[in-house]
């Protein structure tokens, strides 16, 4: 990788998930200095959604919101020299690359180079990989993938920062990846700018920590913060920027004049997000020790992070596998008036009793009954009192689609043949939707080869 180009390098994340506010990236580009804009669209459930889309149309399977966002910010990004990195490729990076090129042509932007990273998709190779000894045992249950192989829909390796850095080295203004790790979106440009290699484990660990802090967008700048009353102007909350230095230290901040709050508490809250063993936060490039992180307030809305230590990466990648696992349906009703909780419970009993009368039964593990408003979110912790209205959320799952479809017929009748106060049936009859389940596994790194293609968009 190349030598240091500038310091600090400003890397921002304007998208915490697919569905985050479009104002995040737009305002990051417009409201202050920036070198890299990263956009994180993927989660395990998102990959499942994208796979369903691709099954219906082979030209889909990526984050279409990214293309809309590119249309809004690309001219200004080119004018300001801001490069864009996104994992918006989902399960179809090539289709995403083509759509991005179409936007660039429409905008008439000259000299734009788009990079795409391939190699994370190993779906077609699964039988051969299993034959060669890769078992893809479920990390939660220990079962081999052969148990569900005939139902697998997608299989994508969590790749790291170095393919992103390679795309930047080849001159990409826009980098589209598939299932890279969330922190790799930030790690890629830092590795590229500072010329770090695989043996720079402490610096790579710092890049992982920086990426982890900003990966959920405004969740580290005051969003979802327990002391929410201290967070000013949440409507204009600033999305996070990591000011990164060659020694591995960095500052988490936001643009001046924006809403939100950046202090040691807000950053610490995000650090604890999805945390397993804090001494071994395992990524594809390095194993980071979160217990070595040192943070200090370095001014208003500025938190300096130093001291991060790492150890060499493991010899495996994590694989995100999705497979078909039956059918589900879910609906809801509002139950109002006196004794709302008791009436809602009765409604749920009536639904399942009436199904049983028609020969349709579900095991307890196949049922969902929640009384929203009765303290279900923090059951046993927060007392809900005696609410005068609750929302009955009720659902089922099964390998039998017909059983699930039959369930949908029994919600609306409660309006006239259940207890009083039943209302809110406005979403239509719940219909079966296919369950795409998650199967986490490992694969030997020697089995995976990524390729990076960077091409200038022809007008």
Positive or negative CA dihedral for 122, 98, 162, 248?
Answer: negative
Mean pLDDT, all residues of the chain? 95
Residue 328 and residue 269: Cα distance in Å, rounded?
34
Quick check: pTM over 0.75?
A: yes
pLDDT at 131 > cutoff 80: yes
Architecture field, domain 322-437: 2-Layer Sandwich (3.30)
Residues 396 and 282 sit within 8 Å (Cβ to Cβ): no
Find how far residue 325's CA is from the centre of its chain: 21
Radius of gyration of the chain from its Cα atoms, rounded to whole angstroms: 24
What is the domain partition of the chain in residue ranges? 9-120+158-314, 322-437
Q: Tell me: the pLDDT tens digits for 338-384? A: 999 999 999 999 999 999 999 999 999 999 999 999 988 888 887 77
Residue 4 banded pLDDT, cuts 50, 70, 90: low
Mean pLDDT of 324-332: 96
Residue 390 and residue 375: Cα distance in Å, rounded?
10
Pairing of strands 9-13, 241-244: antiparallel
Residue 129 and residue 297: Cα distance in Å, rounded?
49
Give the full edge-to-edge strand order of the sheet including 281-282. Answer: 281-282, 286-289, 309-312
Residue 382 CB burial class (10 angstroms; 0-12, 13-18, ≥19): exposed
Q: Tell me: the pLDDT tens digits for 237-279? A: 999 999 999 999 999 999 999 999 999 999 999 999 988 999 9
pLDDT at 439 > cutoff 70: yes
Closest-CA residue to 170 (of 459, 454, 456):
454
Q: Which residues contact 320 (CB under 8 A, 6 or more apart)?
A: 44, 47, 154, 155, 156, 157, 158, 179, 438, 440
The encoded tokens of residue 337 equal 């008036």
pLDDT at position 425 is 86
Residue with tokens 């959604």: 49
3-state secondary structure of 398: strand
Q: Tell me: the pLDDT tens digits for 17-48? A: 999 999 999 999 999 999 999 999 987 777 87
Mean pLDDT of 414-423: 96
pLDDT at 1 > cutoff 80: no
DSSP string for residues in 176-206: E-SSB-TTHHHHHHHHHHHT--TT-HHHHHH
Does residue 293 or residue 2 have the better pLDDT?
293
The encoded tokens of residue 416 equal 């006239």
């Amino acid at each position: 990788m190349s030598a240091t180009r500038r310091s600090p390098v400003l890397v921002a994340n304007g998208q915490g998930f697919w569905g985050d506010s479009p104002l995040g990236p737009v305002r990051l580009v417009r409201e202050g200095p920036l070198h890299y804009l990263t956009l994180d669209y993927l989660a395990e459930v998102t990959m499942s959604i994208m796979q369903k889309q691709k099954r219906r149309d082979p030209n889909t399977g990526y984050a279409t919101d990214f293309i809309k966002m590119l249309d809004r910010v690309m001219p200004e990004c080119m004018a300001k020299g801001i490069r864009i990195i996104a994992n918006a490729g989902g399960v179809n990076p090539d289709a995403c690359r083509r759509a991005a090129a179409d936007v660039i042509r429409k905008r008439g932007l000259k000299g734009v180079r788009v990079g795409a990273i391939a190699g994370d998709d190993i779906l077609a190779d699964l039988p051969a990989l299993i034959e060669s000894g890769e078992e893809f045992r479920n990390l939660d249950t220990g079962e081999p993938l052969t148990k569900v192989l005939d139902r697998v829909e997608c299989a994508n390796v969590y790749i790291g920062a170095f393919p992103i850095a390679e795309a930047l080295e080849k001159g990409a203004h826009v980098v589209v990846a598939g299932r890279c790790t969330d922190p790799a979106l930030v790690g890629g440009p830092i590795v590229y700018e500072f010329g770090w290699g695989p043996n720079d484990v402490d610096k790579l660990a710092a890049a992982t920590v920086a990426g982890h802090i900003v990966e959920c967008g405004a969740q580290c700048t005051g969003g979802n913060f327990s002391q929410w009353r201290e967070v000013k102007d949440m409507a204009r909350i600033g999305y996070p920027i990591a000011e990164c230095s060659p020694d591995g230290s960095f500052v988490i901040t936001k643009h001046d004049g924006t809403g939100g709050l950046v202090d040691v508490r807000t950053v610490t809250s995000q650090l604890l997000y999805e945390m397993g063993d804090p001494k071994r936060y395992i990524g594809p490039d390095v194993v980071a020790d979160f217990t070595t992180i040192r943070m200090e307030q370095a001014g208003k809305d500025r938190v300096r992070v130093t001291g991060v230590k790492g150890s060499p990466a493991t010899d495996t990648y994590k694989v995100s596998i999705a497979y078909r696992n039956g059918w589900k349906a879910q609906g809801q009703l509002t139950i109002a008036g006196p004794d709302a909780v008791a009436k809602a419970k009765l409604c749920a009993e009536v639904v399942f009793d009436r199904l049983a009368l028609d020969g349709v039964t579900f095991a307890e593990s196949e049922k969902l009954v929640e009384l929203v408003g009765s303290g279900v979110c923090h059951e046993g912790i927060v007392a809900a009192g005696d609410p005068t209205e609750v929302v009955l959320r009720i659902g089922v799952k099964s390998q039998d689609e017909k059983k699930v479809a039959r369930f949908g017929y029994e919600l609306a009748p409660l309006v006239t043949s259940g207890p009083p106060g039943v209302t809110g049936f406005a979403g239509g009859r719940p219909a079966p939707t296919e369950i795409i389940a998650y199967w986490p596994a490992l694969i030997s790194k020697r089995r995976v080869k990524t390729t990076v293609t960077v091409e200038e968009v022809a007008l």
